[in-house]
Amino acid sequence: MDLGETAWNSTTSSKAKDVAQKIRGICGISSGPVHLDYVMASHHHLDHIGYAGNPNDTDDIGNGIYELLTPATEGGLGFTVGTLYDRDGGVWTDANGDADCDIGTSSNPAPEVDWHNAGTTSQTARRWNCWLYGPAGQADRAHIEGKVDQLTNTETWPTLDLGTGVTTTIVQVNGKDVMQADGTTPVSGDHTAATTPPSENDYSIALDIQYGVFSYVTAGDNDGEYDTSSFGYTYNDIESHIAEQVGATTVARANHHGSTHSSSSTYLNTLNPQVGVISCGNNSYGHPANRVLDAFRNVSADIYLTNNPCDDTDPTGAPIDYSGTFNNNGDIVLQTSGTGDSYDVTYDSGTNSYTTGNGSGGGSGGDPSQVKVNEFLMAPSTNQEWVELYNPTADDVDVSGHYIDDLAASGSSPQQIPSGTVIPAGGYWVMELGTAYLNNTGTEDVRFLEIVGEVETVYDSYTYSLSSSEYDQVFHRVGDGGSWCDTISSNVTQGTANPSTCP
C-alpha cells in the first residue's frame, strides 16, 4: 500500500528501488522482479504513489509505483501485479481526439481527466490517471493492463484475500458518505472548480486488517477535523466515519504522517490502540504534531516512528516532544503469532512483545533505552554483587531479555534479565550477580544493553577504576538517574532512592 517518493524527478536513487529490494528480501531472492498479488494507492499524492512517466516525456521521468510495475524494457523494475487498487479520482477523456493521454504542464494542465471524486488536483494525479486509464496498448501499461480495480462509490468494495484467517476490509474511500463543514455538501464528487475544494487527502483509502483477535487500521492521509488551509483547500472529518466502522483496534497507523489535522482525540479514543505507528520522514510540516503524540499517549499506546526526529518544531512553534517513542530511523516490523493472540514489534533497538488487546490501549513495552544503571556493589563481604536499574519514565518498562554485562568482549559473560521483568514507572530493579562478576580492582564497566544476534546496543554504562578492594561500598548517581558520583560511597540504598549528594 503506497510507494511514495521525495521528489518528482528522483530516478537513479528512487524509493521504488529501495522498496523493491525490501520485497526481494522478504521473498528470499537477490534480484529481479516479483509478482505481487495486490498493490494499492491510498490517494494521489507524490509522497504516496510517486510520479508516473508519460509517453510524451522527453526526459527520464517515472518513479514510485509506476517504476515498480513498469516493464524493464520501458525503464521500470518489471514487477507484476494481480490487482492494482485505485480510488475513483477520475478517468482519461480524450479531449483533443488524438488518442493520446496528454498531461500538459503545471501552469497549463491538459483537460484530459474526467474528475469523479476530487478537490485539489496536481500533475501527479494527472500522470497517474494517464498511466492507469490511458490508451490501451501503451507499452508502459503492459503489467497493469486489465489489472486495475477502481473503487467507486456505487460498487460493493472487494475483500482482499491475504490468506487463511485474514480479513481485509476497505472501510472508506473517496470521502464516501461524509459531508463537508456545511453539513449538506458531500466530500465525494467533482469539486475541482470549487473556490476552496476538499484536500486530496480526504479521499484516501482506509483499511481494517484482522487476523484472529489482532487488528490493524491504516487510512492514508485522511483528516479528522473541519478547517480551511491557508493554501486554499479544506480539511474534512473523515476519521469519525472510519472510527464508526472499525471501533477498537490493536495497532493504528497515524493518518497523514502525524499531521495536527489528523489522528484526532475522538478517533484515537475510539480505536484505543495498544500501538501507534507514525510514518514520518524528515519534513518541514510539523509532523508529527505534539497534539498527535499526546493523543496516542493519552490512550497509553506505545509509539513507533520511522524517523526521529521527523521535524523539530510542531505547527504551534513548540519543540516536538519525542520522549518515550521507539525507533530512531528505519524499518518497523510487526509480526503476529500463528493465531494473532500476540505480536512482536521489531525496531532499530530491539523487539517489544505484546499480548493482543483490541481497544485496550496500554502498550506494555515501555522504552528500555531510557532505563539507567543507578547503583551497584562490586565487592560484598557477604552475600552477592548486584546492579540496580532505575526507570525514569512515566511508563512501566519491560526489560525482559536485555542484559547486564561488564567490559565488552572480555571478562564475564553477559547476564540476561529474566522473562517477565518489568520495572515500574519511577521504580527500581536489582540483579544479583554472584561473588566474582565485577572486578574489585582495576578498570571495569557496568553496562545495561540489548543483544540481538551478535550486535550489542548499549543503553547505559558506567566505568570505574579502583586500586584496592572497597568492601561493602557502592558507586551511585546523585539522586535517581542523576550524574554519577565518581567517589565510592558507604551509603548503600539498594532498591530505594539514591542519596541526593555525593560522599
| Cα-Cα end-to-end distance for the chain | 59
- Give the model's pLDDT for residue 180: 98
Lowest mean pLDDT among 48-52, 103-107, 266-270, 448-452: 448-452
Q: Which residue has the cell 493472540?
A: 341
Going by C-alpha positions, the residue among 44, 57, 53 that lies closest to residue 71 is 53
Residue 461 grid cell: 554504562
Query: Which amino acid is residue 105, in one-letter code?
Result: T
Write the pLDDT tens digit of every residue in 206-219: 999 999 999 999 99
> pLDDT band for position 246 (50/70/90)?
very high
- What is d(CA 23, CA 36) in angstroms, rounded to the nearest whole number? 9
- What is d(CA 372, CA 482) in angstroms, rounded to the nearest whole number? 9
Q: Which residue has the cell 489528523?
A: 262
- What is d(CA 353, CA 335) in angstroms, rounded to the nearest whole number? 10
> pLDDT band for position 88 (50/70/90)?
very high
- What is d(CA 455, CA 61) in angstroms, rounded to the nearest whole number? 40
- What is d(CA 89, CA 197) in angstroms, rounded to the nearest whole number? 14
- Give the model's pLDDT for residue 454: 72
- What is d(CA 476, CA 479) in angstroms, rounded to the nearest whole number? 8
Query: How remote is the C-alpha of 323 from its chain's centroid?
Result: 16
- Give the model's pLDDT for residue 401: 81
Write the pLDDT tens digit of every residue in 262-293: 999 999 999 999 999 999 988 999 999 999 99
CA distances (Å), 40 to each of 28, 170, 406, in order?
23, 11, 50
- What is d(CA 372, CA 455) in angstroms, rounded to the nearest whole number? 20
Q: Is the predicted pLDDT of residue 347 greater than 70, yes or no?
A: yes
> pLDDT band for position 433 (50/70/90)?
very high
| Of 35-39, 294-298, 346-350, highest mean pLDDT | 35-39
- Give the model's pLDDT for residue 474: 97
3-state SS, residue 454 = coil
* pTM, to two decimals: 0.74
Handedness of CA 329, 336, 325, 403 (dihedral sign): negative
Residue 276 grid cell: 501507534
Mean pLDDT of 244-262: 96
Mean pLDDT of 3-9: 93
Lowest mean pLDDT among 16-20, 328-332, 414-418: 328-332
Going by C-alpha positions, the residue among 45, 120, 132 that lies closest to residue 83 is 132
- What is d(CA 179, CA 207) in angstroms, rounded to the nearest whole number? 20
- Give the model's pLDDT for residue 368: 83
Query: Which amino acid is residue 127, in one-letter code?
Result: R
Neighbour order of strands in the sheet with 403-405 = 415-416, 403-405, 442-452, 455-466
Going by C-alpha positions, the residue among 376, 373, 392, 393 that lies closest to residue 384 is 376
Give the list of residues 6+ apart from residue 159 with CB closer than 8 angstroms, or none: 167, 168, 169, 170
- What is d(CA 331, CA 346) in angstroms, rounded to the nearest whole number? 8
- Give the model's pLDDT for residue 370: 87
CA distances (Å), 366 to each of 74, 352, 461, in order?
48, 8, 20
Q: Is the predicted pLDDT of residue 43 greater than 70, yes or no?
A: yes
Q: Is the CB of residue 476 less than 8 Å from the CB of residue 374?
A: yes
Going by C-alpha positions, the residue among 497, 476, 495 that lies closest to residue 486 is 476
Mean pLDDT of 237-266: 96
Give the list of residues 6+ apart from residue 193 with CB closer than 8 angstroms, or none: none
> pLDDT band for position 438 (50/70/90)?
very high
- Give the model's pLDDT for residue 362: 59
Q: Is the predicted pLDDT of residue 365 greater than 80, yes or no?
A: no
> pLDDT band for position 360 (50/70/90)?
low
3-state SS, residue 115 = strand
> pLDDT band for position 308 (50/70/90)?
confident
Give the DSSP letter string of 55-102.
TT-SS----HHHHHHS-GGGTS---EEEEEEEE--EEE--TTSSSS--
Write the pLDDT tens digit of every residue in 382-411: 999 999 999 998 778 888 888 999 988 777
Residue 215 grid cell: 487488528
Mean pLDDT of 323-342: 89
Write the pLDDT tens digit of every residue in 456-474: 889 999 999 999 999 999 9
- Give the model's pLDDT for residue 452: 67
- What is d(CA 33, CA 14) in angstroms, rounded to the nearest whole number? 16
For the chain, give the mean pLDDT.
93
Residue 13 grid cell: 536513487
